[in-house]
A and B are shown apart, each in its own frame.
Chain A
Protein backbone atom coordinates (compact mmCIF):
# COMPACT_ATOMS: atom_id res chain seq x y z
CA UNK A 1 0.00 0.00 0.00
CA UNK A 2 1.35 3.46 -0.88
CA UNK A 3 2.38 5.58 2.09
CA UNK A 4 0.30 8.70 2.77
CA UNK A 5 1.74 11.91 1.30
CA UNK A 6 3.98 14.00 3.51
CA UNK A 7 2.30 17.40 3.96
CA UNK A 8 4.43 20.31 5.17
CA UNK A 9 3.34 23.88 5.94
CA UNK A 10 5.87 26.68 5.48
CA UNK A 11 5.28 29.87 7.47
CA UNK A 12 7.48 32.92 6.94
CA UNK A 13 7.58 34.91 10.18
CA UNK A 14 8.99 38.31 10.97
CA UNK A 15 8.46 39.76 14.45
CA UNK A 16 5.43 37.64 15.35
CA UNK A 17 6.36 36.49 18.90
CA UNK A 18 2.81 36.77 20.23
CA UNK A 19 0.98 35.16 17.30
CA UNK A 20 3.21 32.49 15.77
CA UNK A 21 2.96 29.97 18.64
CA UNK A 22 -0.83 29.83 18.47
CA UNK A 23 -0.76 29.64 14.69
CA UNK A 24 1.67 26.69 14.76
CA UNK A 25 -0.40 24.85 17.41
CA UNK A 26 -3.58 25.28 15.38
CA UNK A 27 -1.96 23.97 12.18
CA UNK A 28 0.00 21.00 13.57
CA UNK A 29 -2.93 18.55 13.86
CA UNK A 30 -3.65 18.95 10.14
CA UNK A 31 -0.18 18.30 8.68
CA UNK A 32 2.99 16.23 9.13
CA UNK A 33 5.33 19.12 9.80
CA UNK A 34 5.21 22.87 10.32
CA UNK A 35 8.30 24.78 9.18
CA UNK A 36 8.63 28.35 10.41
CA UNK A 37 11.27 30.56 8.82
CA UNK A 38 12.24 33.21 11.35
CA UNK A 39 13.31 36.05 9.08
CA UNK A 40 15.87 37.70 11.36
CA UNK A 41 13.25 38.78 13.91
CA UNK A 42 15.58 38.75 16.91
CA UNK A 43 12.62 39.03 19.30
CA UNK A 44 11.77 35.46 20.31
CA UNK A 45 9.60 34.66 17.28
CA UNK A 46 11.70 31.57 16.52
CA UNK A 47 11.64 30.38 20.15
CA UNK A 48 7.85 30.78 20.34
CA UNK A 49 7.42 28.74 17.15
CA UNK A 50 9.83 26.05 18.37
CA UNK A 51 8.01 25.73 21.72
CA UNK A 52 4.76 25.25 19.78
CA UNK A 53 6.31 22.32 17.91
CA UNK A 54 7.54 23.83 14.66
CA UNK A 55 10.83 23.20 12.93
CA UNK A 56 12.44 26.64 12.92
CA UNK A 57 14.89 27.83 10.28
CA UNK A 58 16.59 31.09 11.21
CA UNK A 59 17.66 33.76 8.76
CA UNK A 60 20.56 35.62 10.38
CA UNK A 61 19.43 38.78 8.54
CA UNK A 62 16.01 39.94 7.42
CA UNK A 63 15.55 39.04 3.74
CA UNK A 64 11.80 39.35 3.25
CA UNK A 65 8.76 37.11 2.92
CA UNK A 66 9.60 35.78 -0.55
CA UNK A 67 13.12 34.80 0.52
CA UNK A 68 11.75 33.11 3.66
CA UNK A 69 9.21 31.11 1.67
CA UNK A 70 11.90 29.90 -0.71
CA UNK A 71 14.09 28.86 2.24
CA UNK A 72 11.22 26.92 3.82
CA UNK A 73 10.20 25.31 0.54
CA UNK A 74 13.74 24.19 -0.22
CA UNK A 75 14.09 22.69 3.26
CA UNK A 76 10.70 20.97 2.98
CA UNK A 77 11.75 19.41 -0.33
CA UNK A 78 14.99 18.21 1.30
CA UNK A 79 12.90 16.50 3.99
CA UNK A 80 10.80 14.69 1.39
CA UNK A 81 7.62 16.77 1.38
CA UNK A 82 5.01 15.65 -1.17
CA UNK A 83 2.69 18.62 -0.69
CA UNK A 84 3.85 22.02 0.56
CA UNK A 85 1.46 24.67 1.85
CA UNK A 86 2.30 28.28 2.54
CA UNK A 87 0.45 30.20 5.24
CA UNK A 88 0.87 33.51 7.07
CA UNK A 89 2.16 33.84 10.61
CA UNK A 90 -0.42 36.38 11.76
CA UNK A 91 -3.33 33.96 12.08
CA UNK A 92 -5.25 35.22 9.03
CA UNK A 93 -5.68 31.75 7.56
CA UNK A 94 -7.98 29.02 8.86
CA UNK A 95 -6.21 25.67 9.39
CA UNK A 96 -9.57 23.90 8.96
CA UNK A 97 -9.31 24.78 5.26
CA UNK A 98 -6.04 22.90 4.75
CA UNK A 99 -7.95 19.78 3.70
CA UNK A 100 -9.78 21.68 0.96
CA UNK A 101 -6.52 23.29 -0.19
CA UNK A 102 -4.63 20.03 -0.63
CA UNK A 103 -7.52 18.11 -2.16
CA UNK A 104 -6.89 19.27 -5.78
CA UNK A 105 -3.22 18.26 -5.40
CA UNK A 106 -4.04 14.86 -3.92
CA UNK A 107 -6.49 14.06 -6.68
CA UNK A 108 -4.03 15.22 -9.35
CA UNK A 109 -6.41 17.93 -10.54
CA UNK A 110 -3.85 20.69 -10.13
CA UNK A 111 -0.15 21.34 -9.48
CA UNK A 112 -0.89 24.37 -7.33
CA UNK A 113 -3.97 25.46 -5.38
CA UNK A 114 -4.35 29.18 -4.72
CA UNK A 115 -6.55 30.47 -1.93
CA UNK A 116 -9.13 33.08 -2.88
CA UNK A 117 -11.00 35.21 -0.36
CA UNK A 118 -13.32 36.51 -3.08
CA UNK A 119 -14.78 33.11 -3.99
CA UNK A 120 -16.39 32.80 -0.58
CA UNK A 121 -19.72 34.60 -0.64
CA UNK A 122 -20.41 37.18 2.06
CA UNK A 123 -16.71 37.64 2.73
CA UNK A 124 -16.20 41.19 3.99
CA UNK A 125 -12.90 42.72 2.94
CA UNK A 126 -12.03 46.18 4.31
CA UNK A 127 -12.44 48.73 1.50
CA UNK A 128 -8.84 50.07 1.26
CA UNK A 129 -7.55 46.48 1.23
CA UNK A 130 -10.11 45.50 -1.40
CA UNK A 131 -9.07 48.38 -3.70
CA UNK A 132 -5.42 47.34 -3.43
CA UNK A 133 -6.23 43.68 -4.12
CA UNK A 134 -8.46 44.48 -7.10
CA UNK A 135 -5.63 46.57 -8.61
CA UNK A 136 -3.14 43.75 -8.00
CA UNK A 137 -5.52 41.20 -9.54
CA UNK A 138 -6.05 43.37 -12.59
CA UNK A 139 -2.29 43.82 -13.04
CA UNK A 140 -1.58 40.09 -12.65
CA UNK A 141 -4.29 39.16 -15.14
CA UNK A 142 -2.79 41.58 -17.62
CA UNK A 143 0.81 40.38 -17.16
CA UNK A 144 0.44 36.63 -16.60
CA UNK A 145 -2.87 36.04 -18.34
CA UNK A 146 -4.09 33.87 -15.45
CA UNK A 147 -7.81 34.06 -14.77
CA UNK A 148 -7.70 34.63 -11.01
CA UNK A 149 -9.85 36.41 -8.46
CA UNK A 150 -7.27 36.91 -5.70
CA UNK A 151 -3.60 37.31 -6.54
CA UNK A 152 -2.00 38.24 -3.23
CA UNK A 153 -3.25 35.48 -0.97
CA UNK A 154 -0.53 33.77 1.06
CA UNK A 155 -2.56 30.55 1.48
CA UNK A 156 -1.32 28.14 -1.23
CA UNK A 157 -0.75 24.43 -1.67
CA UNK A 158 1.63 22.96 -4.21
CA UNK A 159 2.75 19.57 -5.34
CA UNK A 160 6.37 18.50 -4.98
CA UNK A 161 6.73 18.98 -8.73
CA UNK A 162 5.43 22.57 -8.59
CA UNK A 163 7.48 23.42 -5.50
CA UNK A 164 10.70 22.18 -7.05
CA UNK A 165 10.02 23.96 -10.36
CA UNK A 166 9.11 27.39 -9.00
CA UNK A 167 12.21 29.49 -8.28
CA UNK A 168 11.49 32.68 -6.39
CA UNK A 169 13.97 35.49 -6.93
CA UNK A 170 11.83 38.25 -5.43
CA UNK A 171 12.81 38.49 -1.77
CA UNK A 172 9.99 40.71 -0.60
CA UNK A 173 6.27 41.00 -1.27
CA UNK A 174 6.59 40.88 -5.07
CA UNK A 175 7.06 37.10 -4.73
CA UNK A 176 3.26 36.70 -4.79
CA UNK A 177 3.13 38.05 -8.35
CA UNK A 178 6.31 36.20 -9.29
CA UNK A 179 4.77 32.85 -8.30
CA UNK A 180 1.82 33.52 -10.60
CA UNK A 181 4.12 34.60 -13.45
CA UNK A 182 5.97 31.29 -13.08
CA UNK A 183 2.74 29.29 -12.88
CA UNK A 184 1.89 30.77 -16.29
CA UNK A 185 5.39 30.41 -17.77
CA UNK A 186 5.86 26.83 -16.56
CA UNK A 187 2.29 25.96 -17.58
CA UNK A 188 1.52 24.54 -14.15
CA UNK A 189 -2.09 23.47 -13.63
CA UNK A 190 -3.74 25.76 -11.09
CA UNK A 191 -7.03 26.00 -9.31
CA UNK A 192 -8.49 28.57 -6.93
CA UNK A 193 -9.96 27.37 -3.65
CA UNK A 194 -12.34 29.52 -1.56
CA UNK A 195 -10.72 30.45 1.75
CA UNK A 196 -11.54 32.65 4.70
CA UNK A 197 -9.28 35.51 5.70
CA UNK A 198 -9.67 36.58 9.32
CA UNK A 199 -9.15 40.33 9.46
CA UNK A 200 -8.19 41.65 12.86
CA UNK A 201 -6.75 45.01 13.91
CA UNK A 202 -3.45 43.19 14.31
CA UNK A 203 -3.42 41.64 10.84
CA UNK A 204 -4.59 44.86 9.18
CA UNK A 205 -1.83 46.81 10.91
CA UNK A 206 0.77 44.35 9.60
CA UNK A 207 -0.73 44.00 6.12
CA UNK A 208 -0.15 45.67 2.76
CA UNK A 209 -0.58 49.39 2.14
CA UNK A 210 -0.91 51.34 -1.10
CA UNK A 211 2.74 52.40 -0.98
CA UNK A 212 3.75 48.75 -0.67
CA UNK A 213 1.82 48.10 -3.88
CA UNK A 214 3.96 50.67 -5.63
CA UNK A 215 7.11 49.11 -4.22
CA UNK A 216 5.98 45.67 -5.44
CA UNK A 217 5.58 47.08 -8.96
CA UNK A 218 9.06 48.62 -8.83
CA UNK A 219 10.58 45.35 -7.53
CA UNK A 220 8.86 43.37 -10.30
CA UNK A 221 10.01 45.81 -12.95
CA UNK A 222 13.62 45.82 -11.72
CA UNK A 223 13.53 42.02 -11.52
CA UNK A 224 12.29 41.71 -15.10
CA UNK A 225 14.74 44.27 -16.50
CA UNK A 226 17.83 42.99 -14.68
CA UNK A 227 16.85 39.33 -14.76
Chain B
Protein backbone atom coordinates (compact mmCIF):
# COMPACT_ATOMS: atom_id res chain seq x y z
CA UNK B 1 0.00 0.00 0.00
CA UNK B 2 1.37 3.45 -0.97
CA UNK B 3 1.64 6.39 1.49
CA UNK B 4 -1.15 8.34 -0.29
CA UNK B 5 -3.48 5.34 0.04
CA UNK B 6 -2.77 5.22 3.79
CA UNK B 7 -3.44 8.96 4.14
CA UNK B 8 -6.68 8.77 2.15
CA UNK B 9 -7.92 5.68 3.98
CA UNK B 10 -7.16 7.31 7.36
CA UNK B 11 -9.14 10.40 6.32
CA UNK B 12 -12.07 8.34 5.06
CA UNK B 13 -12.10 6.21 8.23
CA UNK B 14 -12.12 9.39 10.35
CA UNK B 15 -15.00 10.82 8.29
CA UNK B 16 -16.96 7.56 8.72
CA UNK B 17 -16.38 7.64 12.50
CA UNK B 18 -17.60 11.26 12.74
CA UNK B 19 -20.68 10.38 10.66
CA UNK B 20 -21.45 7.39 12.90
CA UNK B 21 -21.01 9.46 16.06
CA UNK B 22 -23.32 12.22 14.78
CA UNK B 23 -25.93 9.62 13.83
CA UNK B 24 -25.76 8.06 17.33
CA UNK B 25 -26.26 11.54 18.85
CA UNK B 26 -29.31 12.03 16.58
CA UNK B 27 -27.66 15.04 14.93
CA UNK B 28 -28.29 13.66 11.45
CA UNK B 29 -31.08 11.52 10.07
CA UNK B 30 -30.45 7.79 9.38
CA UNK B 31 -30.86 8.33 5.61
CA UNK B 32 -28.23 11.09 5.64
CA UNK B 33 -25.87 8.96 7.74
CA UNK B 34 -26.32 6.00 5.37
CA UNK B 35 -25.64 8.20 2.32
CA UNK B 36 -22.44 9.59 3.82
CA UNK B 37 -21.22 6.14 4.94
CA UNK B 38 -21.86 4.89 1.39
CA UNK B 39 -19.81 7.77 -0.05
CA UNK B 40 -16.88 7.11 2.33
CA UNK B 41 -17.08 3.36 1.53
CA UNK B 42 -16.95 4.02 -2.23
CA UNK B 43 -13.96 6.29 -1.61
CA UNK B 44 -12.22 3.56 0.37
CA UNK B 45 -12.91 0.88 -2.26
CA UNK B 46 -11.53 3.04 -5.08
CA UNK B 47 -8.53 4.01 -2.94
CA UNK B 48 -7.62 0.36 -2.31
CA UNK B 49 -8.34 -0.67 -5.93
CA UNK B 50 -7.61 2.38 -8.15
CA UNK B 51 -7.98 0.23 -11.28
CA UNK B 52 -11.68 -0.24 -10.46
CA UNK B 53 -12.31 3.50 -10.80
CA UNK B 54 -10.61 3.38 -14.22
CA UNK B 55 -12.94 0.54 -15.29
CA UNK B 56 -15.98 2.53 -14.16
CA UNK B 57 -14.58 5.64 -15.89
CA UNK B 58 -14.16 3.78 -19.17
CA UNK B 59 -17.70 2.42 -18.88
CA UNK B 60 -18.94 6.01 -18.53
CA UNK B 61 -16.79 7.34 -21.38
CA UNK B 62 -14.18 9.09 -19.19
CA UNK B 63 -10.49 8.49 -19.89
CA UNK B 64 -9.08 8.03 -16.40
CA UNK B 65 -10.45 7.00 -13.01
CA UNK B 66 -8.85 10.06 -11.39
CA UNK B 67 -10.73 12.32 -13.84
CA UNK B 68 -14.02 10.62 -12.99
CA UNK B 69 -13.41 11.14 -9.26
CA UNK B 70 -12.61 14.82 -9.93
CA UNK B 71 -15.79 15.37 -11.98
CA UNK B 72 -17.97 13.70 -9.36
CA UNK B 73 -16.27 15.68 -6.58
CA UNK B 74 -16.88 19.00 -8.35
CA UNK B 75 -20.59 18.26 -8.86
CA UNK B 76 -20.87 17.12 -5.25
CA UNK B 77 -19.08 20.25 -3.94
CA UNK B 78 -21.31 22.57 -5.98
CA UNK B 79 -24.37 20.87 -4.56
CA UNK B 80 -22.97 21.12 -1.01
CA UNK B 81 -22.21 24.86 -1.44
CA UNK B 82 -25.70 25.47 -2.84
CA UNK B 83 -27.30 23.73 0.15
CA UNK B 84 -25.10 25.67 2.56
CA UNK B 85 -26.05 28.95 0.87
CA UNK B 86 -29.75 28.17 1.23
CA UNK B 87 -29.30 27.22 4.88
CA UNK B 88 -27.26 30.35 5.63
CA UNK B 89 -29.85 32.55 3.92
CA UNK B 90 -32.65 30.95 5.94
CA UNK B 91 -30.73 31.40 9.19
CA UNK B 92 -30.04 35.05 8.31
CA UNK B 93 -33.75 35.71 7.88
CA UNK B 94 -34.62 33.87 11.09
CA UNK B 95 -31.96 35.78 13.02
CA UNK B 96 -33.24 39.12 11.73
CA UNK B 97 -36.82 38.23 12.60
CA UNK B 98 -35.75 37.20 16.10
CA UNK B 99 -33.80 40.43 16.68
CA UNK B 100 -36.75 42.44 15.30
CA UNK B 101 -39.35 40.75 17.50
CA UNK B 102 -37.21 41.25 20.59
CA UNK B 103 -36.79 44.95 19.80
CA UNK B 104 -40.49 45.56 19.10
CA UNK B 105 -41.78 43.47 22.03
CA UNK B 106 -39.40 45.21 24.44
CA UNK B 107 -40.60 48.64 23.30
CA UNK B 108 -44.28 47.65 23.36
CA UNK B 109 -43.75 46.45 26.94
CA UNK B 110 -42.23 49.83 27.84
CA UNK B 111 -45.12 51.61 26.12
CA UNK B 112 -47.61 49.57 28.14
CA UNK B 113 -45.78 50.38 31.40
CA UNK B 114 -45.78 54.09 30.61
CA UNK B 115 -49.42 54.14 29.56
CA UNK B 116 -51.11 51.26 31.39
CA UNK B 117 -54.55 50.41 30.04
CA UNK B 118 -57.22 51.58 32.46
CA UNK B 119 -58.85 48.77 34.47
CA UNK B 120 -62.19 50.42 33.90
CA UNK B 121 -62.34 52.26 30.59
CA UNK B 122 -65.49 54.11 31.70
CA UNK B 123 -63.93 55.37 34.92
A interface residues (Cβ-Cβ under 8 A, vs B): 37, 40, 55-61, 63, 67, 70-71, 74-75, 78-79, 169, 171, 222, 226
Contacts and interface: CB of A to CB of B under 8 A. Distances in A.
Q: What secondary structure prevails in chain B residues at the interface with A? A: helix
Contacts of A60: 99, 102-103
A37 B86 contact: no
Given A61-B95, A63-B95, A63-B96, A226 B103 contact: no
Contacts of A169: 93
B1 interface: no
Contacts, number: 47
Contacts of B89: 222, 226
Size category of the binding interface on chain B: 10 to 19
A61 B86 CA distance: 22
A65 to B, nearest CB: 12
Contacts of B103: 37, 57-60, 71, 75
13 contacts: A59-B99, A60-B102, A61-B95, A63-B100, A67-B96, A67-B100, A71-B100, A71-B104, A78-B104, A169-B93, A171-B92, A222-B89, A226-B86
B107 interface: yes
